[in-house]
Amino acid sequence: MIRRIFLDSHTLYASTASGLSRSQFEAFARQLPLLYLILVVNSFAVAFTHVGTAPAWLAIYAPAAMCSACILRLFVWLGRRKYLASMSDAQVAARLKNTVLLIALLGIIFTGWGLLLFPYGDPYARAHVAFYMSITVIGCIFCLMHMRTAALLLTAIVIVPFTVFFSLTHNLVLIAIAINVVLVSIAMIIILLTYYRDFARLVESQRALEAKQSELQHLSDENLRLANLDSLTGLPNRRRFLADLDALFRSTKDGQAGFAVGVIDLDGFKQVNDVYGHGAGDRVLEEVGRRLLQFSAPTLSLARLGGDEFGLLVRDVTDRQQLLDLGASICSALQVPYAWQGTTARLSGSLGFAMSPSTGRSPAQLFEHADYALYFAKEHRRGGTTIFSREHEEQIRELGQVDQALRHADLEREMTLHFQPIVDVSSQRVISYEALARWNSPSLGLIPPSLFIKVAERSGFIHALSVKLLCKALAEMRAWDPATRIAFNLSAHDIGSAEAVGNIVDIVTKSGIAPGRLTFEVTETALIQDFEQATSSLHALKNLGVRISLDDFGTGYSSLTCIHRLPLDKVKIDRGFLKDIDSDATAQNVVRSIVELCRSLKLTCVVEGVESGVQVSVLRGLGCTVMQGFYFGHPAPFGSRGPVQQNFA
């Protein structure tokens, strides 16, 4: 530590010293030409007054040589001003050292020349020599105030011989002049030392200020870098991505190659966090960042937008196939298993693209369209790539119309419930009914549940809709046979917060309906959005006395790893497994496995989407006894007396 402090101090001192030398050199570059000019002019004047009285070599040739050397040095220093900034510290130090030596040499030469010239001429010429030496040294001291060593050396070289020489003349006037020059020189030296000290402090303060400004600029640059960087993956963050998108949009002109905005979302990442913890999730995100960086290129920039969402900016896009090929490569890279500490997880990535300028008139619209393409990919092409098209634009327009109609709807009057039977084929009777929402909009007409439920979930309106429909279902149940049970669907928003669940509990409690008559159905996709909160919510509902059913089993990611952690009573096998169930051996094996799993966990297994007697026969052979579908009855409204119990052969 001490050694480091010493090195830092030495570095700071060296930096300050080099800064002082450079500042001295800069001052020299401005003032030394003036010094040489003073020497030339004063020497020429003295030489001129001694022509004819002093020898030619002393009055003409010697001063001519000395003045020529000074003029040469004058032009050298004038030229150095141009390349001063490009000189290194070592070059500056060498130039200063040479200058000090040269000034000392010039001081000796000019002092010797003046003293040799003194004996010639009349008293006025001799007085001129004394005046020349005194005024010249004072002028030179002024020109050398930024270079203490040179100024002191020149003063000593001139004043000492000058004082001794004129003191030995025994001429009171010359002695007085010598004493006067000494006193003035002493005053000049004091002023010089004070000025030099202040100059050195000023240079040091300036260098310290520059160093502080440099440090502040470095910190500012670092803060700016961190503000635009995702610390986990090392990729640019959402802020930087949107800024780059805006800049790219503004720089793209008509006739140039277009660009595309891409949004990637990981499929199944939520399960990694829920099952293995957030530390494992971070490792997966780091690996995703590394894999995406493999695709980085001058025409492709990447960013982490937040969570498990990543962004792409693809420049010089010529056609859709280019994006599809890129998307296929990225999705393929993301599907490679992720391994850490002896654990392996399999994920996929869905990718949505929007191309400029064909599908976006602003950066915000391009990003929104890319996000919608991603949403479409996750619903219909999970693990694949979707490029935003006019078809999607029409869907957005339709969703927008439904969203506005839903926000202004009279839910009490426009929303109704239909009920579809759930049948136990072994006892040939209906054991429950599923409540299904129907909406007849005054402006749009009949809107399918698959559309308005999706809109309500995307707009955050779904909980208000669930509350209204639950109140309707409970109101109808009051007039029915107390033995009649219903199943009611809850969304991710309904179980995603303690407040929403508390609201549902209050509604059921105040309704007077026995909680045991209710079964709340939740989908796997609703659970994986926040598994811990969803589990807590289901336990709260279970404590109320209702039953819990896991809907669309087999389509999500929590199936086998999380089912044992949930307070379930039923599992509903997704209708997707029933397609070609009579001939598809794989589908039969999956259904048989789910039935066995439910039996071992003591859960009721319900198969939905049954539409034919052949399916019923095959399913019964696989061990299924509870079924639902058009074969047993279409959803329909019931009168005030409720449903009539039926038997099914």
CATH of the domain at 613: 3.20.20.450
Q: Say which residue the tokens 């619903």 belong to.
A: 379
Q: What is the C-alpha to C-alpha distance for residues 439 and 454, in angstroms, rounded to an integer?
A: 13
Which tokens hold the place of 598? 């439910």
pLDDT for the residue 520: 96
Q: Does 242 fall in a domain?
A: yes
User: Residue 295 corresponds to which amino acid?
Assistant: F
Is residue 248 domain-shared with residue 352, that is, in the same domain?
A: yes
Residue 406 CB-half CA count within 13 A:
27
Q: What is the C-alpha to C-alpha distance for residues 506 and 541, in angstroms, rounded to an integer?
A: 11
DSSP letters along 562-621, please? HGGGS--SEEEE-GGGGTTTTT-HHHHHHHHHHHHHHHHTT-EEEEE---SHHHHHHHHH
**261, 313 in Cβ contact below 8 A?**
yes
DSSP letters along 360-414, please? -SSHHHHHHHHHHHHHHHHHHSTTSEEE--HHHHHHHHHHHHHHHHHHT--HHHH
311-321 pLDDT, tens digit per residue, is: 999 998 888 89
Q: What's the average model confidence in pLDDT over 293-321?
A: 90
pLDDT for the residue 226: 62
pLDDT for the residue 263: 95
The confidence band for 164, taking pLDDT boundaries of 50, 70 and 90, is: confident
| Mean model confidence pLDDT for the chain | 83
In terms of Cβ atoms closer than 10 Å to its own Cβ (0-12, 13-18, 19+), residue 161 is middle
Q: How many residues does the chain have?
A: 649
Count of beta carbons in the 10 Å neighbourhood of residue 89: 15
Q: Does 434 fall in a domain?
A: no
pLDDT for the residue 607: 94
Q: What's the average model confidence in pLDDT over 257-268?
A: 88
Q: Among 207-221, 298-312, 408-422, 521-535, which stretch is predicted with the lowest mean pLDDT? A: 207-221
Q: How far is CA 547 from its chain centroid?
A: 46
**130, 114 in Cβ contact below 8 A?**
no
Is residue 250 domain-shared with residue 172, that is, in the same domain?
A: no
129: CB partners within 8 A, 6+ apart: 46, 114, 117, 118
Is residue 42 domain-shared with residue 183, that is, in the same domain?
A: yes
Which residue would you say has higher pLDDT here, 4 or 180?
180
Residue 130 CB-half CA count within 13 A:
25
Q: Does 231 fall in a domain?
A: no
Is residue 15 domain-shared with residue 153, that is, in the same domain?
A: yes
Name the residue among 111, 194, 107, 191 with its Cα closest to residue 153. Answer: 107
Grouping H, G, I as helix, E, B as strand and the rest as coil, residue 347 is coil
Is residue 243 domain-shared with residue 199, that is, in the same domain?
A: no
User: How many distinct structural domains can be found in the chain?
Assistant: 3
Is residue 187 domain-shared with residue 253, that is, in the same domain?
A: no
Q: What's the average model confidence in pLDDT over 263-276?
A: 84
237 DSSP 8-state letter: -
Q: Among 251-260, 489-498, 506-515, 587-596, which stretch is predicted with the lowest mean pLDDT? A: 251-260
Pairing type for strands 309-317 and 300-306 reads antiparallel
The pLDDT of residue 580 is above 60: yes
85-109 pLDDT, tens digit per residue, is: 667 777 777 777 887 888 888 888 8
Name the residue among 592, 594, 584 with its Cα closest to residue 559. Answer: 594
The pLDDT of residue 260 is above 70: yes
Is residue 59 domain-shared with residue 100, that is, in the same domain?
A: yes
Q: What is the C-alpha to C-alpha distance for residues 304 and 231, in angstroms, rounded to an integer?
A: 10
Is residue 246 domain-shared with residue 161, that is, in the same domain?
A: no
The pLDDT of residue 604 is above 50: yes
Which residue would you say has higher pLDDT here, 158 or 367?
367
Q: What's the average model confidence in pLDDT over 597-610?
A: 92
Tell me the range of 187-201, 267-281, 597-611 where mean pLDDT is highest.
Answer: 597-611
Q: Does 576 fall in a domain?
A: yes
Residue 191 CB-half CA count within 13 A:
12
Q: What's the average model confidence in pLDDT over 197-207?
A: 73
**268, 561 in Cβ contact below 8 A?**
no
| Residues above pLDDT 70, as percent of the chain | 89
Which residue would you say has higher pLDDT here, 20 or 266?
266
Q: Does 218 fall in a domain?
A: no
pLDDT for the residue 7: 32
The pLDDT of residue 15 is above 50: no
Is residue 344 domain-shared with residue 475, that is, in the same domain?
A: no
| Domain end call among 212, 230, 250 | 212
Name the residue among 226, 224, 300, 299 with its Cα closest to residue 264. Answer: 300
The confidence band for 506, taking pLDDT boundaries of 50, 70 and 90, is: very high
Q: What is the C-alpha to C-alpha distance for residues 157 and 165, in angstroms, rounded to an integer?
A: 13
Q: What is the C-alpha to C-alpha distance for residues 503 and 572, in angstroms, rounded to an integer?
A: 26
Is residue 193 domain-shared with residue 323, that is, in the same domain?
A: no
Q: Does 644 fall in a domain?
A: no
The confidence band for 6, taking pLDDT boundaries of 50, 70 and 90, is: very low
Q: What is the C-alpha to C-alpha distance for residues 134 and 260, in angstroms, rounded to an integer?
A: 81
Q: How far is CA 327 from its chain centroid?
A: 23
Phi, psi for 82 (deg, rounded to 5): -75, -35
Q: Among 129-143, 162-176, 199-213, 517-531, which stretch is predicted with the lowest mean pLDDT? A: 199-213
Which residue would you say has higher pLDDT here, 115 or 645?
115
549: CB partners within 8 A, 6+ apart: 487, 519, 520, 521, 522, 568, 569, 570, 571, 572, 606
The pLDDT of residue 119 is above 70: yes
Give me the helices (H) in 478-584, please.
Answer: 492-495, 498-511, 524-528, 531-544, 559-562
Residue 446 forms beta bridges with which residues? 440
Q: What is the C-alpha to C-alpha distance for residues 150 and 153, in angstroms, rounded to an integer?
A: 5
pLDDT for the residue 84: 65
Q: What is the C-alpha to C-alpha distance for residues 463 and 502, in angstroms, rounded to an integer?
A: 12
Name the residue among 230, 363, 368, 375 with its Cα closest to residue 303. Answer: 230
pLDDT for the residue 204: 75
Residue 350 forms beta bridges with which residues? 265
Which tokens hold the place of 369? 């369209």
Is residue 197 domain-shared with residue 257, that is, in the same domain?
A: no
Is residue 267 domain-shared with residue 353, that is, in the same domain?
A: yes
Packing angle, helices 148-167 and 89-117, rounded to 10: 10
Q: Which domain holds residue 582?
A: 463-628
Rg (C-alpha) for the chain, rounded Å, is 47
The pLDDT of residue 328 is above 90: yes
Q: Does 603 fall in a domain?
A: yes
| Domain end call among 331, 355, 388 | 388
CATH of the domain at 306: 3.30.70.270
Q: Does 393 fall in a domain?
A: no
